A and B are shown apart, each in its own frame.
Chain A
C-alpha cells in the first residue's frame, strides 16, 4: 500500500456550501482525517439543493453535497448545547487544523474563535475562508458564490464585447478559493513541523482571487486601459475561437499561434492556398481580419463532428479540443487513462461518480472515498476521538446534543 502524504494530519471543518468543503476534501484525498461538524437543524445549503440521486429529496443524496465532501467524517452537534461544547473541545484537542468558512465572526460567537482554540491546542493552525476577511468595513458581511463572483471582477472580462458580463461556469470563486486555501494550510503545517509554531490564516475569498486579475489591473494602471471583454479571442494568436460543428449545439475550440501552425492548419482543412492570402498571411493580418477568417473556418467545421475536427487538427499539430459535455467527460480516453472519475458505491443512496484530483503525486497518490451521510460518524468519533463510553454516548443521545 502506498503511503499517504498527509497521514497523521487531523482536520476539523466548520463549513458551508462549496469553497470550504472543497478545501478540506482536497486534504482528505491526500490522507488527512477530516471531521466535518454539521447541524441537523440547520442543514448545509448543499444538502438541500438538488439534483438528488434517484430524484429523492434527502440530505444524503444531494449531488452538490456529495461532490464537495468526499473522504470526510460527518458529526452533527448542536453547538449551543453545553454538553456539545465539551465534546467539541475534545475534538479540537485532537485537531492539527481547523477550517472555518462561516461568515466572519460566527465561530467566535460559538466560543470557537482562534483565541479560544489556542487555549485548547496552542499550536493549532486555523484558516478562516469568508468573503471579505476579518477586518475592514466589510468584515462579517455574509456572502455566497454568486455575489462573490461578481465581486471578483471575473464576469467583467467574460463574454463577447457586445454581451452582458457572463459568470464563468457557475459561482467560479467557489472553485478558485480551495486552491490557495490548501496551499496556505499545507505550507503552515510544514512550517509548524519545523518550528512548532501554529498560526491563524485570514483567507478572504475576495483577496485570494485578485492575483488572477493582475494583468488587467496592470493594464489599467500602466496603460490606462480597461481591457473589457474580448470573447474567445487572443491578442497573440489567430485563428482563436470556438467553431460550430455538426450536431445540436456542438463546438470545437481552435488556437493557432505560430506561422508553422498556420501553414499546417491550412493544409489540414484542405485549403493550403489560404495560408498565403494577403488578408491572412501574417499574424498581424490574421488578427486584423478575424471575422472573415472565422467564417471560412466555420464553413469547414460545420459539416464535421467536433471529434473529427479535433483529431484532424491535433494530428496536424494544432491545439484543438471538443467543448466537452458531461457525457463527453465520462467517455474521455485521457481522463479514463488517468482514472480521473471514481464511481464509489454507497450502501444506502447508491453510487456517485466523484471527480478526482488534478494533481498526481508519484509516491503518495491520492485516494477518493465517499462523502458521509449526515451524522454518520457521531458514534465512532465520540468513542475514539472524544473517548466517551457507550453509556455516556447513549445518555447524550437523549439530550438533543447531536441535533
Chain B
C-alpha cells in the first residue's frame, strides 16, 4: 500500500480533520487521492456519529450508516480539545501536518487557542480550511444553518419542487453540506498547490450558503439580467418566453424515466422521429403523430391543447413499458430516455459493473459492503477507498506513537485523564 501511496496525487500530505457532518466530505475526498487523513474526535466521538440510519436500526457511535458513508479513507484518534493539555497536544500535531479542516461555529477555534494565526505561528506552511454556514465574518456568520436552511438561503430550495406544492430538498444526504465539503476539498488542493510554489500556507474558508448559491441554476443572474424570477418546476422544463412547460419526469410501468420532447432542429434530427417510429411499431402512433413536422415545431408557438395532446402519446407509451424496456429500446434506437435510478438500479448498473466501480470494504461480523471506489479514474495515480471508516479512537496508539512518539504508558495516562 505504501508503494501505491507514492503514486497518489496527495499521498505526501497529512490532514487533521476536526469536522462534523458540515464538512466531513472534504477529508474523505482528499483521502480518495491518498492523503493521510486523521479524524480528531472528542473522547465521546464526533456528534455526527449519531446521525441515522443505523445498521440494524440500532443507534450507536459505530453504527451510523450515514457517518460510515463519508468517513472512509480516515484514521480516528480521540482528543479533548476543551482541555489545555488536549490543546497542547493538538498544537504538537499541527507541526506534523499539512492541513487542518474544521467546521466549528466561527470563533470556536480561537476559544480553544487553535485559530489560524496561532497555527500559522507554529507551522507557517499549515493550511487551515474552515467550513461554516455563512462564512467566518459578517452579519449572518454567527447564525445557525442546517442543511435545509443553507438550501433555502443559497436559493436552491425555492427552485426545487412542483409549483403548486412546497419547495423540497434532496432527502437523507445533506446535499448542501456535501457541496461545501467538496468545495473545501478543491480549495484546499489549490492552497496546497500554491504552497508548493510559495512555501506559504493560508486560511481557506467556505460558506455553505455560497456553495449552494453556486449550485442553483442562475436564480440571481437571471433576475439581475431580466428582472424575472424562475419559478420552481422540477419535473418540467419551462420553454423560454412562453407559458409552455415540457414534462421531464414521466411514469413508467414500474417507476419513472426522464425525457424531454425537443422541438425544432434538435428534436427533428435526434430523438423524436426515432421515438415515433418505435411507438408506431408497437401500434401506439397514429396519422396525427406521424404527421408532425418536428423541424417546424416551435413549442413557444404551439397552443396548450396541442402541447398536451403530443405529451399524451408519449405518456401512454411510457406507462405501457418498464424502465428496463424503455432503457433497452432507448439504447438500441439512440433516444435519450433515462430511467430515474433507484439505489438498487445503481448498484446493478452494467456500466458501473463493467468498469469495476464498486469496492468491497470490510464490515461488522466479517461482512463485506460495496462502496463507490472513486470519483475519477486517473491513468497513473490511484483514486480509491484506502480504508474503511474507523472505529472511534481506533488509531490512537498508532498515530500518537508515529507522530509524537508517545509510548503505551503515556497514552494510558492520557486516557485516564480524559484527554484522549
Contacts and interface: CB of A to CB of B under 8 A. Distances in A.
A-B pairs with lowest CB-CB distance, top 7:
A326-B223, A255-B146, A147-B338, A359-B187, A150-B258, A337-B138, A214-B69
B123 interface: no
A31 B103 CA distance: 27
18 contacts: A63-B221, A136-B355, A150-B338, A160-B168, A183-B182, A184-B378, A202-B377, A216-B173, A218-B369, A242-B152, A242-B157, A253-B148, A317-B144, A321-B150, A332-B153, A333-B140, A334-B135, A361-B194
Contacts of A210: 346, 352, 357, 372
B210 A354 contact: no
Contacts of B215: 169, 172, 175-176
Contacts of B224: 326, 330, 341, 343, 352-353
B61 interface: no
Given A157-B171, A326-B230, A182 B225 contact: no
Given A175-B214, A255-B146, A355-B218, 9 more contacts: A3-B198, A180-B29, A180-B376, A191-B381, A202-B378, A208-B375, A255-B148, A325-B155, A327-B223
A222 B191 contact: no
A222 B340 contact: no
B106 interface: no
A217 B158 contact: no
B381 A221 contact: no
Interface string B167-193: 111111101001110111111011111
Interface in A113-167: 114, 127, 132-133, 135-138, 141-144, 146-160, 163-167
A209 to B, nearest CB: 9
Given A217-B346, A255-B146, A201 B378 contact: yes
Contact of A211 (B184, B221, B372): B372
B344 interface: yes
Interface string B139-159: 111011111111111111111
A240 B157 CA distance: 14
Contact of A137 (B338, B351, B372, B383): B351
B196 to A, nearest CB: 5
A378 interface: no
B370 interface: yes
Contacts of A234: 146, 148
Interface stretch (B249-257, B304-312, B405-413): B249-257
A111 interface: no
Nearest to B235: A164
Nearest to B353: A136
Contacts of B89: none
Interface residues of A, number: 152
A362 B173 CA distance: 30
Contacts of B68: 218
Interface in A317-367: 317-330, 332-335, 337-338, 340-341, 343, 352-364
B375 A190 contact: no
Which of A127, A159, A228, A324 has the most chain B CB atoms inside 10 A of its CB? A324
Contacts of A317: 144
B207 interface: yes
A41 interface: no
Nearest to A322: B152
Contact of A252 (B152, B183, B376): B152
A324 B155 CA distance: 5
A28 B69 CA distance: 32
Dominant secondary structure at the B interface = mixed
A191 to B, nearest CB: 4
Interface stretch (B50-58, B79-87, B278-286): B50-58
B102 to A, nearest CB: 15
Given A232-B169, A334-B138, A362 B204 contact: yes
A362 B202 contact: yes
Interface in A184-242: 184, 186-191, 193-194, 197, 199-204, 206-208, 210-223, 225-237, 240-242
Interface string A228-269: 111111111100111010000101111101000000000000
Contact of B340 (A136, A150, A188, A329): A150
A5 interface: yes
Contacts of A364: 190-191, 194, 202
Interface string A305-322: 000000000100111111
A136 B217 CA distance: 31
Interface string B234-261: 1101001100000011010000111110
Interface range on chain B (Cβ under 8 Å from partner) = 35 or more
B268 interface: no
B342 interface: yes
B23 interface: no
Interface in B324-351: 331, 336-347, 350-351
Contact of B170 (A168, A188, A329): A168
A263 to B, nearest CB: 15
B56 to A, nearest CB: 7
Given A318-B144, A359-B186, A160 B355 contact: no
B38 interface: no
B165 interface: yes
B369 A253 contact: no
A375 interface: no
A295 interface: no
Contacts of A329: 155, 213, 219-220, 223
Which of B56, B149, B207 has the most chain A CB atoms inside 10 A of its CB? B149
B172 A220 contact: no
A30 interface: yes
Nearest to B215: A175
A143 to B, nearest CB: 7
Contacts of A67: 218, 221
Contact of B248 (A167, A200, A221): A167
Interface string A278-322: 000000000000000000000000000000000000100111111
B111 interface: no
Interface stretch (A49-57, A80-88, A381-389): A49-57
Which of B151, B196, B234, B256 has the most chain A CB atoms inside 10 A of its CB? B234
Contacts of A203: 375-377
Contact of B140 (A334, A340, A362): A334
Contact of A169 (B160, B165, B260): B160
Contact of B209 (A257, A314, A335, A362): A335
B12 interface: yes
A152 B173 CA distance: 13
B56 A223 contact: yes
B108 interface: no
A212 B220 contact: no
A6 interface: yes
B182 A213 contact: no
A30 B204 CA distance: 13
B274 interface: no
Which of A5, A50, A353 has the most chain B CB atoms inside 10 A of its CB? A5
Nearest to B153: A321
B173 A212 contact: yes
Contacts of A165: 235, 249, 256, 340
